[in-house]
Chain A
Amino acid sequence: MAMLDVKNIHKSYDDNEILRGVSFTMEKEETKVIIGPSGTGKSTLLRCINQLSPPDAGEVWLDGEEITNPATNINKIREKIGFVFQDFNLFTHLTALRNVSIGLEKVKGMEKETARKRAMDELCRVGLDAQTKQYPAQLSGGQKQRVGIARALAMDPDIILFDEPTSALDPELIGDVLDVMKSLCGKVAMLVVTHEMGFARNVADEIIFMEGGVIVESGPPKEMFTNAKTQRAKEFLGRIGALYGGG
């Protein structure tokens, strides 16, 4: 049984059908990268998985539990699904340290001091030992996003969903964030929506190419980059490969 099983997800906003039946599975500690043109529902898919936007139809199973079932306690489930936002969404009124520890304290019910220590460890892990007392507004974009990753990591999730984690960053800051993500590879399952083809090629176990609200093709990076079966995937990977320097 797969750790994460996404079955036939449909989602519309108003009359606009964003997702038209998306299915895939993920195993423990696997890394999958979702690529595709803008507006194909990649971010929506992530939000459907952790139920920030519940899907209109379809099921999501995590560890054998159907989380799309309204009877499931979604807060319990979300503890196990980390989420890293494109625009960081760090809590404005909290320091970097408190941003990481607040979930431990208020959701996991950890002692304040234990939570603080754990948060400290996570911030060290993403290379921010010196910034623990800074407020989000005092951090650079790359630092903010690393706090965002630390915040997700601290909860000991089974899987972390990354929603274009580097899209809002200045080019020179992207590297730090990608390095942190690379270092997590094989330690926690990661589902990453990104345009960073280098990352996709070098890190992913599988690449999922989405367009028009469906998965057009998926496969190991090597195959996808050199030998995509569908014309659309070939075109897209060729174009974006040229755009981003091919990785």
Chain B
Amino acid sequence: MTTDFAQFFIDSSPDLINGLGYTLLLTFISIAAGFFLGILLALGRVYGNKIINGLCVGYIEIIRGTPLLVQLFIIYFGLPAIGIIFTPIQAALIGLSINSGAYQAEYLRGAIQSVEAGQMTAARSLGMNKLQSIRHVVLPQALRIAIPSWSNEFIYLLQYSSIAYIIQVTELTAEGKFIAAHTFRYLEIFTMIAIIYLVLTIVSSEIIDRIAKRLSIPGVGAAKGIGQRNT
């Protein structure tokens, strides 16, 4: 039984590794793209005029108010109706980035606001302009504060990238489904997949924790975010 399972695992591993590659690709690209989008949105919310602020709020609320799967369906199945066509992987990357951007915007905004007031005044009184103050004083602190939430976001993306399976991206979950459909060994294969995700989750939160410690500055507190899910 055990050797059988081991053999099965070895036989499946090329496909699983292939799928894992896509899972990691989706996760890393989307978290990075979502991060830049998130920063822009957060800055727009904190420093933008009424119109920019309103647009950012609208974007964030709409994305956070609808399921990721609906967003993926609109991009992958819906947009071709008006002539915009993406491959599955493109659609997934766009969907995950758009989605993550909205969530990252919210906690980045929280972090920015938590350092903004006094620090901004101090920076401006040194003669920095607004952009310099944001760039050199506010953001370096805000980003550190946001790390725990960012860790949650990373894990969220890692896990929710599995949804891309539904629009035919051959990531980890899809490979598992594929192998299971051929071998009928659903329990084994999905247990394997679950373990892979579990290990990825634990390892990545551990790594981000270490990064946070490396980057930490006395007195710049990390926002509590551990265990809180993104909404």
Determine whether A and B are in direct contact in the complex, meaning some CB atoms lie less than 8 angstroms apart: no
